[in-house]
Chains A and B, each alone.
Chain A
């Protein structure tokens, strides 16, 4: 409620300002502000809003203010399509930012493509997202890369037998598992058990019991933070004491508090680390903390980068004409983002490094950076 009311009030305030309506560039954002993936939505929205506020404080783009219109898709299947539909048809936004979860981006992307409204996903890593069409972009790496990174890492650790536990309801999880398995098995690893669960499940003892029976060296769990925390906890209780491996979906505010130590010694790939000493990163972390009183994660950093790239493209396009804006976004080159240097390739993806983090005593510890 809050999250909808506030932009609405802001909108009213802007309308009331003299001649403001003409001077505003409307940008739509769809995010999971409530529901199971609310951490994704809150973080990416905060990051996006931080960027928009900074741009406006510096005089806006082409002398016009940016106005971010947020729609909550409630982490619910079907709602992302409705949100995007509304942002395009009613709010007449010139571009879209969103979503974090790939299945949500895949709902919104075809609508954006049909209406020729450029869309930049901050954090959806499933390759299908940008394959939707030439108006769909992303500022993060994709799962064939992420899956390979983790498979290589597992092999380098000498783990030859791995069990996989996939969330069948998430395109992200299914895709990431597929790319992981492909590289891992082609390079000498064996998948000893392939188990599945569905988003929203809280009981994983049946799968874990089955996995334990196969005695793997590690378990690859390419899911989202909510379920991963419980999987970690229940695995330890059932005596499955091998490391868990995962992807950027692990990044969520409730992962560590819920897991309560159960994930110590596990590894996952991510986009960004607050341990990164680059001044731009530290500056971003400080600004984010000052504004929201919490620590930014990958989704916040990617949200920030997506908004900055869009603003830059509007500037280069010299306006908001949709074809010109699309071309300007596509031409993004060497943008110094918080999550690394971003150049959009011909497939409209960002080829960037991934970081591998480990969980240790209730915190994420930087392990290594892997270049594409």
Chain B
């Protein structure tokens, strides 16, 4: 029982990372009806932004590894990723707007390959050690919990889930309460009508990419705190899993992306812990196939028939 709960905790912490990345997939899909396959590599850029900014921040501000250090580096990586995401949209996707969706999709794969191989060229191909922003340790649980006190919950796991939930809350506020968010929702509902109502298409799409990429950047930092080895190809697997999470939760749905991410994380931990890691990817991608077959709109998505 304790082992099961431990696997659940492990899975939730990993799922928090997937959830943050999945949000970016789902947001871009919401406004553009297109899967940005370079999104996983933005996650990688976030990790490298932290890799370079982390030591500088620690040196300049003089703070040691602590929560403060994380909170200082996090916005830097998020900003760097937001700029990268917006630049990619401006340079690669905007010129193709109105072209067949397949063209943009293939471009996205091209951008992804560019970031992966360019990353190996610029950052080096060897895995790098992520600077210690916060000293990770197992939390001491109160003995009053009885046998539950033997569970290991690490500081980084709490941090990942906490920050992921905070960012989700913030995102919901932006999308639900602000005029920009209103414009995003309008665009996702009906782009033509939204434009007729005066929504600035270019600006909103750029902002959507910026927001989604910032979340992936945050995920990059959080993942690297938990697993402090980063390399230019780290975005491939994480991106694919997050994509499955977004589809599982219902692509286009913010809550769905988070639920999907957490579910995939837990599913992976349970499969690895109780079956075999060999089955982990087949089962995760099997879920993708099942969802597409039986509930294409995902768990929380609404099915929208294509109007002909």
Contact = CB atoms under 8 A, between A and B. Distances in A.
A36 B272 contact: no
B148 to A, nearest CB: 15
A287 B74 CA distance: 43
Contacts of B136: 237
Contacts of B103: none
Interface in B134-166: 136-138, 152, 154
A260 B132 contact: yes
Given A198-B278, A210-B273, A254 B126 contact: yes
Contacts of B41: none
B273 A237 contact: no
Contact of B129 (A75, A196, A202, A254): A254
Contacts of A229: 127, 229
A237 B135 CA distance: 11
B276 A254 contact: no
Contacts of A258: 127, 129, 228-229
Contact of A206 (B120, B129, B152, B269): B269
Contacts of A335: none
A83 interface: no
B231 interface: yes
Contact of B3 (A39, A168, A201, A209): A209
A19 interface: no
Interface string B262-284: 00000011101100111011000
A35 interface: yes
Interface stretch (B7-15, B205-213, B286-294): B7-15
Contacts of A238: 138, 152, 154
A168 B229 contact: no
Contacts of A198: 277-278, 280-281
B278 A168 contact: yes
Interface residues of A, number: 38
A239 B229 contact: no
Contacts of B268: 203, 206
Contacts of B233: 35-36, 200
B138 A206 contact: no
B284 to A, nearest CB: 12
B220 to A, nearest CB: 12
A210 B3 contact: yes
A303 to B, nearest CB: 17
B154 A237 contact: yes
A230 B230 CA distance: 11
B114 to A, nearest CB: 13
A196 B228 CA distance: 21
19 contacts: A35-B125, A197-B272, A198-B277, A198-B281, A202-B227, A203-B14, A203-B268, A205-B13, A206-B10, A206-B269, A206-B270, A206-B272, A209-B3, A230-B228, A230-B229, A234-B227, A237-B152, A254-B127, A260-B129
Interface of A: 1-2, 33-36, 38-39, 42, 75, 168, 195-198, 200-203, 205-207, 209-210, 213, 226, 229-230, 233-234, 237-239, 253-254, 257-258, 260
Given A35-B233, A206-B269, A238-B138, 15 more contacts: A33-B125, A75-B125, A168-B278, A197-B272, A198-B277, A202-B229, A203-B227, A207-B273, A209-B273, A230-B228, A238-B152, A238-B154, A254-B129, A257-B128, A258-B229
